[in-house]
Amino acid sequence: MGSLFCILAFALLLPLACATSIKYCDNSGDYVVKVSDVKISPNPVVPGKPTTFDISASTGQNLSNGKVVIRVTYFGVQVHTETHDLCEEISCPITAGKFVLSHTQSLPIFTPPGLYTLRITMEDELNQQLTCISFNFSIRFGSLVFNS
Ligand SMILES: *[C@@H]1O[C@H](CO)[C@@H](O)[C@H](O)[C@H]1NC(C)=O
Ligand SMILES: *[C@@H]1O[C@H](CO)[C@@H](O)[C@H](O)[C@H]1NC(C)=O
């Protein structure tokens, strides 16, 4: 996932490119769905416009149903959650192997400067976690660095 770190740091206009990284929520990364890359467009993010995340991943099993949960925390406090039907974002069933999930993110605009963490989780129909990735981004001086 090396290039992913840099792409995201760039997309989010972070001051220290590549100092921020994508992590699996569970350090072992022992998930049914493995994420190999995330492409963000537009890149750089345009304030006030929706941003699309193309998440390249592979699944070890067929997926016929599930959901995508986005959580945003601000200094560790959850400030936003949204849940989407997996099959609204990609045509189901997803057969075992590689796939690309396109997610257009429409988080509210955050004005308080500080450290935010965005966490993207995929769950199957039994609420079992299929994968979970997270990354940090920062907003400084109340300016909009990442609004998607
Ligand atoms: C996944 O779906 C494909 C196509 O429908 C099928 O051929 C395959 O046997 C399924 N695999 C599993 C593990 O269920
Ligand atoms: C985000 O920042 C927190 C606090 O500094 C840190 O513990 C965590 O590892 C970071 N997460 C990522 C994905 O870099």
When divided into structural domains, the chain yields a total of 1
**What range does the domain containing 98 cover?**
20-139
Output the domain CATH number for residue 61: 2.70.220.10
Select from 35, 52, 36, 31 the least CA-distant residue to 124.
Answer: 31
In angstroms, what is the C-alpha Rg of the chain? 15
Pocket of ligand 1 contains residue 62 by CB under 6 Å: yes
Residue 25 maps to a domain: yes
The DSSP element (H or E) to which 3 belongs, if any, is helix 2-11
Looking at residue 107, what is its pLDDT? 56
- Ligand 2: which of 26, 73, 133, 136 to mutate, judged by most atoms within 8 Å of the beta carbon? 136
Q: Specify the pLDDT at position 57.
A: 92
Structure tokens at 106: 């429409």
Cα of 130 vs centre of ligand 1, distance in Å, is 17
DSSP letters, 104-141, are: EE-PPPP-S-EEEEEEEEEE-TT--EEEEEEEEEEE-T
CA of 127 to the centre of ligand 1 (A): 21
Return the pLDDT at 106.
Answer: 61
One pLDDT digit (tens) per residue for the chain, 148 residues? 444 444 444 454 443 333 346 789 988 889 999 988 877 777 655 556 687 878 889 999 999 999 999 898 888 899 888 899 999 989 999 999 999 998 887 655 555 667 778 899 999 989 999 999 987 766 554 344 444 3
Task: Compute, in angstroms, the gap from residue 136 CA to the centroid of ligand 2.
Answer: 6
